Structure 1
Amino acid sequence: MRGIERGFTKNKKLMNIAKMSLLSLALLFPLAGCGGNEASSTEAAKGDSDAGYQKLSIKLSHVASDNTPKGLAALKFKELVESESGGNIEVKVYPSGQLYGDNDEIEAVQANNVQIIIPSAAKLSGFEETFEIFDLPFMFKNEEHLRAFEDGEGGQELLATLDEYGMKGLSFWPNGFKHITNNKVAVDDPSDVKGLKVRTHGGQIINEVYETMGASSTKIAFNETYQALQLGTIDGQENSIVNIETQKYGEVQNHLTLTSHARSEYAVVTNKQWWDGLEPKTQELLTKAMKEATNEGRNQVEKLETEAIEKIKSEGKMAIVELTDEQKEAFKQAIQPVFDKWAQKMNQDIINKAIEAGN
């Protein structure tokens, strides 16, 4: 009897195993083609457009507000990626330092805690000094010169220097040329700057620019600049036209000189290991969207700068000096020693390509 019972039990177990196998197969058939690895499989769930992109969530962090050129470009990138991927790729944009701020965003992207950041280019100079090229006085003649460099071999070579630090440079985004305001004198010659106390962002190059012209420079937080001007702690400051207008500096400044002496520029940076792990099709989509978002940022800068200068003129609170070519050349010659000193510390191949881009 025990042998019969053991045989019966054994057969029952085999029957149960067979039933479970059939049930498993039945459950698997409806799922065929859905894919298993959401982050990397080309067979990931497809959107209505049947795009076939992998399921992916991207965190993009920056410190500006949504209504700035940088913020609008970031939202354009999100729109393009999510639309073109049929909803499979999600881009979560965190503006105004909501996720990471100036002091920790670079470390965050290196650790892949965030996938894309957009810091000021000068903040990357600790990895490659040539990122300070935008602070070199009169390095770029105009927007066309700047874009020819950024989109050409020189700009791409500069972005590629981040590879060895666990990062990948995707693009440069604009923030406008810098100009000078003050409340003491109409500045149309380098000698007019002598004796002025000027607020800067604190970079060594730009500080030496003012020291060379006989002015003193001081680093003051951006959100504290208006009060410093109002109290007379400083006489003037340098900034983009959009910032000058939106920060209402015309209420505490009498003179604006359109010098275009330096550039405020951003770099779009991602985590290299994360990027390299993406499918080629996804990389292609993100690259295309980044190019279009870059154009959006450039268009926004042009639009907002035109609106800002017209508003400043209509308000009539600041007298505006538009330098002639001869006057601008005088400024350039006066601070040429600063350019020569710092340019020599940078990658000469990139510097030469930057110069050639303007020819």
Structure 2
Amino acid sequence: MRNFFIILSFIVAGITSAVMVGFDIEAMTSDIYYDDEQEGLDEQIMIRFSHVAAEDTPKDRTTSKFAALVEDKTNGKVKVHIYPNATLYNDANEWEAVQNGSVEMIAPATAKISEHYPKWQILDLPYAFPNYQAIEEAYEGKIGETLLKALDRSKVKGLSLWYNGFKQITNQEYLIRTPDDFNRLHFRTMPGVVIKEQFNQLNASTSTISFSKTYQNLEVNFVDGQENTLSNINTKKFYEHQQYLTISNHGYLGYGVLINRDFWNSLSPDIQESITEAMNEATSWGRRHAIEINDQHARELRSNQPMNIHTLTTEERFQWEQALQPVYEKTKQTVSSELMKEINRIKEKYAY
């Protein structure tokens, strides 16, 4: 019994001492490995941005600008992870990926959106845009607003239209100068009714091939040629299997920037506002720098690559426009008269 009282007195003394010195039981039960540098990481929002263009192209550089602006405007709360060069999804499956939330953002060519929303075909009309000012008026005016609004009831939200450059023609057979030179050649194209009809009018056949697989198809001569911007032709090294380049400026390649709608709706209003501000600034930056980037690649192609390059004369350009005029008539069947009037107004406003 005496031993029991001795043990009990030690226990009471221990508890009394703990109370007197402020023994913190809650602290003892907390995570002893807590690192204050990790605080807030669980709350960080990650945006996976997948695209198919190579580095040092207008799309990739504008995406990088957007990512930096988002991180800055949200004080690091939102982080944009960029997956370029089809490392995550290619242009054949990125649409499904953003629809089901496997990725938060993509920036497909406008032609690829026209597969799902025919109004977007308006941007693929040949020779619709005489210069860069015409592009800006279309993208940031009534046409751009109408096309982005067309996505309102879809699983994606349209944030902006981004810039790249005018499309040119390459092939491996001979130099193309006139519409007749297209006869019986086989071209890789993006999907899109207008683009397919363009080559139909030129008596050329087409195959729809994803951008990431274009080089391989040129390499094995499955197709004779393709159309693209100078930045894409250079960064993807199409010149290794395309001897002839025609500077035609017959169409414009731009992108629709899309974000998964459920993801967007899950964001707080202040985060949405910051992303919108970043998108607007990145779009403006991309518009200013896309011309410069393509000019840089044009110089590299002319000075470093063994391509035979021809720029259409005024007379040759006129022949192309006349040969492609029926494309407008067929497009009227799927695109509203309001949009057609607007595209024709812009075309006339900036005509040479």
- Coarse TM-score class (shorter-chain normalised): 0.7 to 0.9
The structural deviation recorded for 1:129 is: 0.3
CA contact (8 A) 1:155 1:350 kept: no
Structure 1, gaps ≥5 residues long: 1-25, 28-44, 47-53
Q: Which moved more, 1:273-282 or 1:144-153?
A: 273-282
CA contact (8 A) 2:112 2:190 kept: no
Question: Counterpart in 2 of 1:192?
Answer: 181
CA contact (8 A) 1:163 1:272 kept: no
Q: In the superposition, relative to structure 1, how do residues 351 and 280 fare at CA in structure 2: closer, same or farther (>3 Å)?
A: farther
The one-letter amino acid of 1:145's match is A
- Secondary structure at the aligned position of 1:122 is classed as helix
The structural deviation recorded for 1:329 is: 1.9
Q: Which moved more, 1:168-177 or 1:149-158?
A: 168-177
Superposed CA offset, 1:281-303 (max 9, x none): 33222111101212333344322
The one of 75, 94, 118 equivalent to 1:105 is 94
Structure 2, gaps ≥5 residues long: 1-25, 28-38
Q: In the superposition, relative to structure 1, how do residues 305 and 131 fare at CA in structure 2: closer, same or farther (>3 Å)?
A: same
Structure 2 residue 264 is matched with structure 1 residue 302: no
The structural deviation recorded for 1:150 is: 0.7
Matches within 5 A, 1:246-265: 246-265=235-254
Q: In the superposition, relative to structure 1, how do residues 166 and 219 fare at CA in structure 2: closer, same or farther (>3 Å)?
A: closer
Question: Counterpart in 1 of 2:166?
Answer: 177
- Secondary structure at the aligned position of 1:163 is classed as coil
Structure 2 residue 308 is matched with structure 1 residue 319: yes
Q: Which moved more, 1:312-321 or 1:215-224?
A: 215-224
Give, in whole Å, the separation in 2 of the partners of 1:351 and 1:130.
10
The structural deviation recorded for 1:158 is: 0.5
Structure 2 residue 138 is matched with structure 1 residue 162: no
User: What is the TM-score with the length of structure 1 in the denominator?
Assistant: 0.76
Q: In the superposition, relative to structure 1, how do residues 87 and 330 fare at CA in structure 2: closer, same or farther (>3 Å)?
A: same
Q: RMSD between aligned alpha carbons?
A: 2.9
Superposed CA offset, 1:87-129 (max 9, x none): 2233333334444443443334334443322222222224320
Question: Counterpart in 2 of 1:218?
Answer: 207
**Highest relative contact order (Cα 8 Å, sep 6+), 1 or 2?**
2
CA contact (8 A) 1:72 1:296 kept: no
Give, in whole Å, the separation in 2 of the partners of 1:218 and 1:246.
22
Question: Counterpart in 2 of 1:22?
Answer: none
User: What is the TM-score with the length of structure 2 in the denominator?
Assistant: 0.77
Superposed CA offset, 1:141-175 (max 9, x none): 22221111111121011111111113211011223
- Secondary structure at the aligned position of 1:139 is classed as coil
Identity among equivalent positions (%) equals 37
The one of 122, 137, 148 equivalent to 2:137 is 148
CA contact (8 A) 1:158 1:350 kept: no
Give, in whole Å, the separation in 2 of the partners of 1:275 and 1:224.
31
Give, in whole Å, the separation in 1 of the partners of 2:184 and 2:53.
33
Question: Counterpart in 2 of 1:241?
Answer: 230
Give, in whole Å, the separation in 1 of the partners of 2:103 and 2:345.
36
Q: Which moved more, 1:175-184 or 1:219-228?
A: 219-228
The structural deviation recorded for 1:342 is: 1.7
